[in-house]
Structure formats: structure tokens, C-alpha cells
Amino acid sequence: MPGSIACFGELLLRLAAPGRELLLQSPSLEVRIGGAEANVGVSLAQFGHAVSMLGTVADNPLGRAALGELRRHGVDTRRVRLADGRMGLYFLATGAGHRPSEVLYDRAASAFALAPAAGYDWTALLGGAAWLHLSGITPALGAATAAAAADAVRAAVAGGVRVSFDGNFRPRLWAAWDGDPATLLRPLLEGAEIAFADHRDIDVVLGPGTDDDADTHEQRFARAARRAFDAFPRLQRIACTTRAQASVEHHALGALMATRAGELHRVAPLELPAIVDRIGGGDAFAAGVLHGLLEGWDDADSLRFGHAAGCLKHAVPGDFNLCGVDEVLALVRGERLDVKR
């Protein structure tokens, strides 16, 4: 698929308590398909890009249903491997008021987690791709997936495929085994041209910075970005969202982007007073920024589009952002919220 974006990561089943209930408060769960890299892929497909999913899923009805859901949203799944084993799961209890949401992972020994790194032919899998997108969740799952992610990035760099990396640090996944995040995430940042990360993600790899307690989020981000640019010569841009929470349902979302040239772009926070579902908001942001860069927009416009995409995801149930380019641009332009007739 010439010029496509390849996304490598685990497809998951999301099992959520209905509404704002606690898990199993009532004997039912709502099932959706998700996964950080798949979320980015689906969003990019909504924006009109050719996207292919890479990875391994269980060779059973659950795995095939997950692939079917991606195809329904325009993502090519022909290069995903089917293997014996189970699907990774996560359980979600959506919070309310001042009770935070909670995620429980059930991903150990999934078909993706156990897939041997040597089983991926990256030269073939990345054939025709212009970009590879992956995240720090994949190496957090175990030695095999960490090796596969590093191999994918090395093959991409060698083949002239540009790399996008999302930090997505997940302490609970790393705590389940003895992998060292700093060591295993470094090869991914070394190959990336753009990273979606804040100062905390950078500190995981490079060690704690010299921040002062009085520093603002923007100051910490700018300082961490400079450290990252010094450590990783291929890296050209680092972007992240900023988030202030009045309650589970009311956030203010802003965005920042630092460039190797020393620019710092900002998008002022937008109030999100009636959040429907925040899962996947960072992935929608990443997809929006990538869309702008793929379209040849400048950094400031790309950041504004990514910010708007991330904001809109908070109004879409499920992991996927299903808003198209026109809807995102309408928010960028501040158009009225009248009913569309």
C-alpha cells in the first residue's frame, strides 16, 4: 500500500461497565474494540489516509471480530497475523464526579504478547509504507514485544520509513515483569522523527530532569524536549496535550509542540464540560497532528488540528475517534454548535 501509515500494536477487547456503574455492579458489560495504535489508525482512516494494521491476534472468533471492526472503519488488516492463544482484554469502569475512572488489564499471555519477535518479517510488512506508528505500550508487555518493537523501528529507519512514537507509559504493565523501561523505550525514541510525549515520558528514558516545583507544565515540557532533542538526533518534533480536571466529566484540554529548531507552539485549553468518553483522546490527538504533517501543513496548524481532534474524541463513545476532517476543522474554526440539518 504505497504511502500508507502502518500501525503496530495489540488489538484489545474493551469490556466496560454500563454508564457510570462500577465493574459488575450489574451483571453486564459493554464490548468494544480498542488499542492505542489501532485507535490512531482508525482516526487516520477517517481523515482519508491509507492505513494498515500490523501485529498478531488470536485465531478465534474474538480476534476475527476485532479485525472486522478495523476493516469496517477503513483499516487494512491483511498483514495482521492470526495465531493460537487469547485476545488481550481490558476492563473499564467510567468514573463520575470526583470518582476517577479505572482500567483493569487482562493482557498477560495474549497471542500478541507471546508472538516471537523473529516471526515478523519487517521488510515485507513495511513494504510501501511511508510511516510506522507505535507506542510504549508494546514494549511494556514483555520481552518478545519489546524486541519486536525495536526490530520494527530499526527496519523502518533502514528502509526510509518515518517513525512516529507515542510514549503511553503504563506503570501497571511494566510492573508485571522485570523489563527496564529506560532501556527498552530508548530504541524507539532513537528512531522516531516525532514523539507524542510529555516531560514525564522523557524522564522515564533519560532520568529525572532538574525541574523546580514552581515550574509550570509548559516549562517542564520545554526543558524535557530540549533534553530529548540533544539525546536523539533523528527527533524533530515532540507534542503533548495538557489537561486540567475540575471533575471526571469536566476537563480543560490544551496542547504543546516543541521543535528541534527551538520553536514552542501552544494551543490554549478548551473547556470540555460534558465528557462522554476520554479513552483514546491522546490517540486522536496524535492522529490529528500526523494528519496535518502528512498534508504538508505547518507545525502550528497541525497542532491546532490535533488538539481539536483530541477534544472531539471526548464526545465519542468507545476507543475510536470517528470524526472526519470537516468536523475537526469546524471546531478549529470555532463554528456554532447548531443542529446540522
Q: What is the pLDDT of residues 212-230, one digit of tens each?
A: 776 889 999 999 999 999 9
Q: For residues 84 and 40, is the Cβ–Cβ distance under 8 A?
A: no
296: helix, strand or coil: coil
161: helix, strand or coil: coil
* 99 DSSP 8-state letter: B
The percentage of the chain sitting over the pLDDT mark of 90, rounded to a whole number, equals 94
Neighbours of 254 (CB within 10 A): 19
Residue 3 has pLDDT above 90, yes or no: no
Question: From the CA atom positions of the chain, what is the Rg in Å?
Answer: 19
Q: Specify the residue for cell string 516525532.
A: 194
Q: How many helices and strands, by DSSP H and E, does the chain display? A: 13, 14
109-137: average pLDDT: 97
Cα–Cα distance for residue pair 191/188, rounded to 1 Å: 5
Q: For residues 197 and 240, is the Cβ–Cβ distance under 8 A?
A: yes
Instruction: Band the pLDDT of 2: cuts 50, 70, 90.
Output: very low
pLDDT at 6: 98
Q: Decide if domain 122-235 falls under CATH 3.40.50.300.
A: no
pLDDT at 214: 67
pLDDT at 338: 76
Q: What is the pLDDT of residues 151-192, one digit of tens each?
A: 999 999 999 999 999 999 999 999 999 999 999 999 999 999
Q: Give 237-341's CATH code, choosing from 3.20.190.10, 3.40.50.300, 3.40.1190.20, 3.40.605.10.
A: 3.40.1190.20
Domain range annotation of the chain: 122-235, 237-341
Neighbours of 210 (CB within 10 A): 7
Q: Are strands 88-93 and 102-106 parallel, antiparallel or unpaired?
A: antiparallel
Q: For residues 159 and 126, is the Cβ–Cβ distance under 8 A?
A: yes
Q: For residues 168 and 283, is the Cβ–Cβ distance under 8 A?
A: no
Do 122-235 and 237-341 come out as alike in CATH topology? yes
Cα–Cα distance for residue pair 309/285, rounded to 1 Å: 6
Q: Judge if pTM exceeds 0.85.
A: yes
Per-chain mean pLDDT for the chain:
96
287-298: average pLDDT: 97
Instruction: Band the pLDDT of 1: cuts 50, 70, 90.
Output: very low
Q: What is the pLDDT of residues 235-265, one digit of tens each?
A: 999 999 999 999 999 999 999 999 999 999 9
92-120: average pLDDT: 96
